[in-house]
A and B are shown apart, each in its own frame.
Chain A
Amino acid sequence: DGGITQSPKYLFRKEGQNVTLSCEQNLNHDAMYWYRQDPGQGLRLIYYSQIVNDFQKGDIAEGYSVSREKKESFPLTVTSAQKNPTAFYLCASSISGQAVQPQHFGDGTRLSIL
């Protein structure tokens, strides 16, 4: 089945630790996105990538890093510089970066601080 797979479903981070959230899609989509969702809030864009080896910062990129070495993969690293990382993280993809294309989402990763 085609879709977006995020792993792990739950992740715990210790102080000073970097953690990486995985996002893989087999939809052959060019564009991929990372969002952060806090309780009672809408989604906020962290990073997006229109094409392999290219990515751009969203509204809240500080403390996060990404890579896009393969079309199907867009991992997000939450670094120790991100002081408030506890949140629900959603990865999305779309056929292209054009505004008309709807974004399709994975099941999310819930990150908590130990």
Chain B
Amino acid sequence: AQKVTQAQTEISVVEKEDVTLDCVYETRDTTYYLFWYKQPPSGELVFLIRRNSFDEQNEISGRYSWNFQKSTSSFNFTITASQVVDSAVYFCALRQSGAGSYQLTFGKGTKLSVIP
């Protein structure tokens, strides 16, 4: 069975602060994919990034960066110099590879509030 844990239910930061959202996962597969999605108040989920289990390089995209560490089964997401538009619920998700593995397993999400 696979599982994703986002221990932080809610986080509040003041604008321009950096913030890290934690994600810890469990899986027995050696090949798997990790995803981050953003859900703004309007409701739709916006795809942010995909990482495969063979690639532990950290990734930076503008103010967003991701730290993938297989040794600790973590895939953390950092927003640098946060802005009010970053306020949303962020979901980490895991999908195993292999035949029959069609399920995206989501964490319960972290609600980020950026205060002006």
Contacts and interface: CB of A to CB of B under 8 A. Distances in A.
A22 to B, nearest CB: 15
A102 B47 CA distance: 7
Contact of B32 (A50, A90, A97, A99): A99
B101 to A, nearest CB: 6
A40 B43 contact: no
Interface residues of B, number: 29
B43 A107 contact: yes
Interface stretch (B13-21, B63-71, B75-83, B103-111): B103-111
A58 interface: yes
Given A58-B103, A100-B52, A103-B104, A43 B91 contact: yes
Given A104-B47, A106-B44, A45 B33 contact: no
A100 B50 contact: yes
Interface string B80-98: 0000000000010101111
14 contacts: A40-B108, A42-B109, A43-B106, A45-B104, A59-B103, A90-B45, A99-B32, A99-B95, A99-B96, A100-B97, A104-B47, A107-B42, A108-B44, A110-B43
Interface of A: 31, 33, 40-45, 48, 50, 56, 58-59, 88, 90, 92, 97, 99-100, 102-108, 110
